[in-house]
């Protein structure tokens, strides 16, 4: 079995930055215990590993009596951040710089009189945080059909931005649809470069392997999009969080001469290595047993 790992896999810049901030804070801070505002990233295994270190996810800051708070990479809604400041809670802002950039563009467009259209998942923390910067007066669009709710605003000036982990191709589709309905559109591509590189790498690998594994949290938006992209190219694609899930379709893996891997932006290297090692292990066992691949 040949194992092909996509070039751009695993932690992105924003996640690496956040994890380093947590590590530094754990070593240096005297304000303990340490909390993250919700899950710091969308990866259950990373969240569990932080819990083992005593760094706990907290959804309700009103319950926080002491310690330090780490703001998640997806950003925080403005009203919640204001509450944290009012309570004088010590906090570290681990918001991804690319997400913060989307915040700034939302405010800029809104200030200049544009109706801000945000392409992304309606209930995703990042989208909620972006929209909160303009008092939730933006319009969130998940798919082309959602544009119907604003088409009656024919004379409206539209400013378009995107959730940072969205598909560039889907973003282009949304922009094209908006162009068919509005006269003036200001488009800012706020999709981070790491997202595009990761998706391109996934396409390259999915096209040349027999079976594709997409590794990452089932609650991770960027990982789910990687799965959708890979599945559209290779129906023999599976979304897993850890190597243990491979056991349920092990026979299909063993029948594959080439297995491809790509991992979401919040997937740590150690989980990717565990998957690779497990594949090597079962392949070695297969050879030892002398069974022939069909």
Positions marked catalytic: 126
Report residue 238 as tokens: 């599976």
CA-based Rg of the chain, rounded to a whole angstrom? 21
222 is in an annotated binding site: yes
164 is in an annotated binding site: yes
- Confirm or deny that 124 is annotated as ligand binding: yes
Question: What's the rounded Cα separation, in Å, for the pair 74 and 42?
Answer: 9
DSSP states of 22-84? HHHHHHH--S-SEEEES-SSS-HHHHHHHHHTTEEEES-GGG--SSEEEE-TT---HHHHHHH
Tokens of 47: 């969240």
220 annotated ligand-binding residue: yes
Q: Do 293 and 255 contact (CB within 8 A), yes or no?
A: yes
Does 193 count as an annotated binding residue? no
Residues 6+ apart with CB under 8 A from 25: 34, 68, 70, 92
Q: 74 among the known binding-site residues?
A: yes
Burial status of residue 130 (CB atoms within 10 A of its CB: 0-12, 13-18, 19 or more): buried
* Residue 239 in marked binding region: no
Q: Is 96 known as a binding-site position?
A: yes
Euclidean distance between CA atoms 148 and 144, whole angstroms: 8
Q: Which residues pair with 214 in a beta bridge?
A: 239, 262
42 is in an annotated binding site: yes
In 3D space, the residue among 209, 245, 242, 240 whose CA is nearest the CA of residue 227 turns out to be 240
- Nearest-angstrom CA–CA distance, 265 and 115: 30
Residues flagged as binding site: 12, 42, 74, 96, 124, 164, 192, 220, 222, 266
Residues flagged as binding site for isopentenyl diphosphate: 42, 74, 124, 220, 222, 266
């Amino acid at each position: 079995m040949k194992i092909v790992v996509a070039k751009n896999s695993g932690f992105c810049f924003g996640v690496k930055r956040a994890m380093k901030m947590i590590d530094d804070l754990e070593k240096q801070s005297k304000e303990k215990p340490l909390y993250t505002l919700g899950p710091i990233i969308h990866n259950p295994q990373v969240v569990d590993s932080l819990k083992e270190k005593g760094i706990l996810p907290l959804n309700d800051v009103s319950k926080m009596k002491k310690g330090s708070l780490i703001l998640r990479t997806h950003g925080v809604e403005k009203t919640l951040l204001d509450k944290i400041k009012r309570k004088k809670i010590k906090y570290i802002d681990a918001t991804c710089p690319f997400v913060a950039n989307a915040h700034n563009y939302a405010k800029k467009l809104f200030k200049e009189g544009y109706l801000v259209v945000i392409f992304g998942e309606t209930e995703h923390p990042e989208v909620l945080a972006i929209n909160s910067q303009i008092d939730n007066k933006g319009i969130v669009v998940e798919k082309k059909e959602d544009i119907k709710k604003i088409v009656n605003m024919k004379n409206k000036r539209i400013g378009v931005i995107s959730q940072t982990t969205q598909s560039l191709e889907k973003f282009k589709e949304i922009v094209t649809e908006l162009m068919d309905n509005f006269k003036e559109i200001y488009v800012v591509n706020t999709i981070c470069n790491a997202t595009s590189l990761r998706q391109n790498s996934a396409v390259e690998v999915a096209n040349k392997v027999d079976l594709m594994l997409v590794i990452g949290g089932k609650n991770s938006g960027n990982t789910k999009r990687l799965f959708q992209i890979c599945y559209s190219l290779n129906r023999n694609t599976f979304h897993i969080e850890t190597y243990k899930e491979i056991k349920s379709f092990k026979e299909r893996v063993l029948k594959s001469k080439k297995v491809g891997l790509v991992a979401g932006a919040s997937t740590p290297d150690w989980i990717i290595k565990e998957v690779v090692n497990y594949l090597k292990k079962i392949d070695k066992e297969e050879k030892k047993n002398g069974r022939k691949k069909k």
